A = this chain, B = another copy of it.
Amino acid sequence: MKPLMLITNDDGVAAKGLKELREVAREFGDVVVMAPESNASGQSHSLTTTRPLRVHEVRKEEGLEVYSCDGTPVDCVKLAVEYFCPRRPNLVLSGINHGSNSSINVLYSGTMAAAIEATTLDISAIGFSLLNHNPEADFSAGLPYVRHIIGYALEHGLPTDVALNVNIPRLEAKDIKGLRICHEAKAQWLESFEKRVDPRGIPYWWLTGKFVCDTPEEGSDEWALANGYVSVVPIHPDLTRHQVIDCLKPMTSESL
């Protein structure tokens, strides 16, 4: 039986990056797409709990089914795995996101939350992002790497508790030097709100902010991207900071 890939994203079912990813995936097997109806960027790992979800069939042909859903990227993965995939997917793919999800951006990203959700269901997953927010971005330079990574994952398998966070630099094909396996760079978003005053004199605050990663460590995703490589960071859903468990033991108490 052909491999089955479930594809989602957070830019919405009509996004160009989703279509590019879908066409590469179809070279390897059958594809089910379940993506948000409209842009769901920045929704992170949100779930829809206070209303039910609706689904629309967008397209159905040999080897490809496309659905849209009025939920979040994580809702899309859960719902598609349970109700819309004809069999258990071999891989969940998310993206290609219009814009970076490197470093700590993975925390805010709906694209990467969808991939992480798959790992909680014991399905391997890969999230792809291009460092270009333009809705008409040109994805062509990165597609050979997308193809290489999907092919590798299907042939060799990935650990089921791991999702790959793949970021593609905004470069021409000839300037991309290759692909590197990395860790997340430490970075921050600073100066995060702009205060304004409305016509009635009442203040409001717009989220803005500056991504700061001054000297990215060699081996980190920001270093790889700054040096012309596609970055691949293996991430997992367990946030435990194991190294400090012992340091905190003095906090342990008996009954208070």
Contacts and interface: CB of A to CB of B under 8 A. Distances in A.
A183 interface: yes
A176 interface: yes
The size class of the interface chain A forms with chain B is 35 or more
Contacts of A121: 188
Given A233-B240, A235-B240, A238-B186, A255 B177 contact: yes
Contacts of A1: none
User: Do most interface residues of chain A lie in helix, strand or loop, or is the interface mixed?
Assistant: mixed
Contacts of A161: 241
A49 B55 contact: no
Contacts of A177: 254-255
Contacts of A159: 241, 244, 247
Interface string A187-207: 011011101100000111111
Contacts of A83: 193, 195, 205
A243 to B, nearest CB: 9
Contacts of A203: 55
A92 interface: no
A54 B206 CA distance: 9
A213 to B, nearest CB: 12
Interface of A: 41-49, 52-55, 74-75, 78-79, 82-83, 104, 106-108, 113, 116-117, 120-122, 144-145, 148-149, 152, 156, 159, 161-162, 164, 174, 176-184, 186, 188-189, 191-193, 195-196, 202-207, 209, 232-242, 244-245, 247-256
8 contacts: A43-B44, A45-B45, A45-B107, A179-B256, A181-B248, A183-B240, A184-B240, A234-B240
